[in-house]
Structure 1
Amino acid sequence: MYEINEIIKLELYGKFAHFRKFYTNASSQSYFLPPKTTIMGILGSILELPRDDYYDLFNKDHILFSIAINKESNIRKVNQSLNYISDHYFNLLVGKKGKVQRTQCKFELLTGNIIYDVYLGLKTKKTEFERLKEKISEQNLGFGISLGQKQFKGSIVKKETYAKNNFEALAEASSVDSSICRRDILELNLNEEINIIKEDIPFCFKKIETGREIQETSTVIAEKNGKRLNGTFKNMVNIKNDLYLSFF
């Protein structure tokens, strides 16, 4: 069961996004919704923290995340062919002769009306979390918001704050309005007009000498258009007898 003391609802939106799958190779495939690690990076950017220095601050001992596709969104994937310059191109720059070699790669791009609802489940009181709330409310967004890559600018706003008396932890629930880890699904009702997406996403990174490495991954299930899923789900949070959220 969760031990959350406060929930902050944020809305993350933009026109274009690309959340690169960690296992993709030459063809850059994108997740349909931002992974937990992407949200952590966005919050770290708002706080102007150095890269790879925010993993401990946003670990599951201090904060949990619930990520949902907003019902007003209309997200679609398109494939773009990008021309990449060969890694031997530098030969031309030092006076060598020859034809510029290029290679084409497919790039999966999210476009349309991209809106995500992000819920922060605060487990501990930290000055950084208070500063984060203030900065988002004042739209003082530090290094800025990017939806996966720097060229895809995004926006983030604070929608609501829920005190502890406005939500309750449930051992089980019959509905879920957010993405959910597969391990928390006991039964899923597929006898409805729903469009299920399944993503294998990173949950957390660990800082190492050469940069970072993935410490944990999990399979996450969501409804493509933000519809409610019905079935039997464990480790849930109910907000005001209305929203049923899964945190991870």
Structure 2
Amino acid sequence: MEVLSFKLWGDFGHFKKFYTTTSPLTFEFPPPATIIGIISAIIGLDKKEYLHSFQNHEEFSIAVAIVNPVKKVRWSQNLIDTKQHFWLIDNRTQIRIEFLKNPAFVIYFRHKNQNIHKKLQQHLEQHTCVYTVSLGLSELLANFSYLGKETLQLETSATWQQIRTVVPFSKLQNDSNVIDFEPNKEVFKTNYPIWMEPDRVVSKREDIVFERNGQSMRCKVKECWVTGGGEKIVFF
């Protein structure tokens, strides 16, 4: 499998958890549907149409690795109702929002549609984008850098593997002991939205396991893909 990899980072990020409203909390890394939006912004797919290019999940693959340790901060923000008299100070609502601080990720991506695949490679190589790239909210601007293109080798084994990326639960082997909780590593499990329909309705959610300090996890997975540098990754 030939994939493109690029680093994505920023000062702050916010990927809102679906079950929080008045005090929004953030996921630890961008969900696959968000990564699709970021890639679409880079190559210039219209925001009302881009999800149509990502409905056949057999045509593309996405994996994400956490680079910087997950750090979260919270601060209050004033929201103003701009529909009526937005200049009046008594028309504001103050809420506390949680943000990721100094988030950084490595994204692995491939698409069978060569128009999408090659266009992304071109923009990454030239460090250009059609639309502004952000980390969840338009105010949280992001940067990216091209890491390269490489061919991955499939590996299937029942033995323990050091996985560099986050791992969906469905990719773990059907066993009671599939995650090694090693000392000095912090492994978490969170339910994430995975795929989204063109009408922006989430069609799939799944539990994801990850190491919050950006280290690899020792797991038993059904299959993984090995990079030229020996890193093992798992796709959604």
Scaled by the length of structure 2, the TM-score of the pair is: 0.88
**Could you say what secondary structure the match of 1:142 adopts?**
coil
Corresponding position of 2:166: 179
Does 2:28 correspond to 1:38? no
Say whether the 8 Å CA contact 1:168–1:239 is kept in structure 2: no
Corresponding position of 2:75: 80
Distance 1:28 1:162, change over 3 A: same
Distance 1:86 1:149, change over 3 A: closer
Structure 2: runs of 5+ lacking an equivalent? none
Displacement, 1:173?
5.1
Displacement, 1:183?
2.2
Corresponding position of 1:237: 225
Cα distance per residue 1:131-172 (max 9 Å; x no partner): 111011111211121011111111112102112xx5224254
Displacement, 1:101?
4.3
Say whether the 8 Å CA contact 2:5–2:149 is kept in structure 1: yes
Does 2:14 correspond to 1:27? no
Does 2:60 correspond to 1:69? no
Q: Which amino acid aligns with 2:101?
A: T
Say whether the 8 Å CA contact 1:173–1:236 is kept in structure 2: no
Q: Which has the larger radius of gyration?
A: 1
Q: Percent identity?
A: 20
Partner Cα distance (1:174, 1:66) in 2: 19
Runs of 4+ in 1 over 4 A off after TM superposition: none
Aligned residue-pair number:
230
Q: Which amino acid aligns with 2:108?
A: Y
Say whether the 8 Å CA contact 1:170–1:238 is kept in structure 2: no
Q: Which amino acid aligns with 1:66?
A: A
Q: Which has the higher strand share?
A: 1
Partner Cα distance (2:210, 2:185) in 1: 10
- Aligned counterparts, 1:42-57, within 5 A: 42-57=38-53
Q: Which amino acid aligns with 1:104?
A: Q
Displacement, 1:99?
7.5
Does 2:187 correspond to 1:196? yes
Structure 1: runs of 5+ lacking an equivalent? none
Corresponding position of 1:110: 100
**Could you say what secondary structure the match of 1:20 adopts?**
coil
Displacement, 1:86?
5.7
Partner Cα distance (2:221, 2:202) in 1: 27
Say whether the 8 Å CA contact 1:86–1:100 is kept in structure 2: no
Q: Which amino acid aligns with 2:225?
A: V
- Quote the RMSD (CA, aligned, Å): 2.2
Cα distance per residue 1:73-104 (max 9 Å; x no partner): 244101112233368x82687xxxx9714433
